[in-house]
Structure 1
Amino acid sequence: MVLKLYAGTRAAGGGGLVALVLAEKQIPFELVVTDLSARQHKTPEFLAMHPFGQIPVIDDDGFILYESRAICRYLADKYADQGPPLYPRGPKERALVEQAASVESANFFSPVMQIFRELILKPARGLEKDQSVVDAGVTDLSAKLDVYEVILSKTKYLAGDEFTLADLFHLMAAPRLAEGGVDIMTASTRPNVARWWNDVITRPAWVKLRAEGIKEIN
């Protein structure tokens, strides 16, 4: 039975992360388009898979898993010998990936989402942004990226010299900051961050996903 991915068609958010792992690993899957505007994610059938009624969700031959980062780890681990080594098996190497992934979750994601909500989500809903909230988020994110600059002065990627899930997780929302006029990820004042970020967002699989959307791999 081919793996089923319940998500939207746009390469963004958690669905985009899972789709990128599927693309990098060339894992066959069936896309089950879940229309949030029609509240398909709140039906009893969907809530039986994801009790919070969110996407993405995968069904891997009856094994149901939700939460994008957990799905990405599962897929990268199951298909470790296929495609790039996104989740190394060695205990020390994996610990470094988990360390960097924890940094993303605890330090990077929150200010990014603070800015994203004001600059992207609010205008999309016809609401006015609060510039003071944007400015606070930029200040917070800038401080975190100053630390990233130090880390990335020593290694090519966040967990070493190979692209891993720790880098991939940063694609949840940060690529859209530039759409709101916040080019903080490629600022010349942080050349190592800019070098790393340009590398991450120009990976062929990600570029293809952004251009074509999420599509089935058979």
Structure 2
Amino acid sequence: MYRYDDYDQRLVDERVDQFRDQTERYLRGDLDEAEFLPLRLQNGLYVQRLAPMLRIAVPYGLLDARQVRKLAHITRHYDKGYAHISTRQNVQINWPRIEDVPDILAELASVQMHAIQTSGNCIRNTTTDPLAGVAADELEDPRPWCEIIRQWSTLHPEFAFLPRKFKIAVCGSREDRAAIHSHDIGLEIVPGPDGENGFRVLV
């Protein structure tokens, strides 16, 4: 799985500091609901009728043990001891206090995680086969392609404020376990005529 370099870590840490300042200004009354709305959505925070909900990015559904332990700690310390797995392979906690969200994001950043672009009208988490990398019918592991799409689309200014949310999935196996037909763009890895793999693109 992809590991942050110094630039990645600095970017995520700075994003946490930025949102902490924005949240404090909102709680003081310096930002109203309309002003805070796009700021919180860019950081995965929904404010629903009963409680806030924070959606945490899990790129192409891949976590290491350290990240799973951190998610367990966050659900116990900041929520009700459980989380939900979304259809886009993200993790959602449904009862955080708004004032705690910057601390949650800082905890996530300590294990190379974030909540950027998990909500709002942007390119969302690129998903793939939950068996990617170990599937017997796999032509090629699709996760490196998912990572390329993630790096290309994350914080891209052209894709941060789209008319609607936009979803991409990549499948590398004969069986479509990534549900590419139900996405805005579906990419299926297929053998090409020259022996090199290519893509069948569904729009």
Category of TM-score, reference length = shorter chain: under 0.3
Higher strand fraction (1 or 2): 2
TM-score, normalisation: structure 2 = 0.25
TM-score where L is the length of structure 1: 0.24
Greater per-residue helix proportion: 1
Greater relative contact order (Cα 8 A, min sep 6): structure 1 or 2? 1
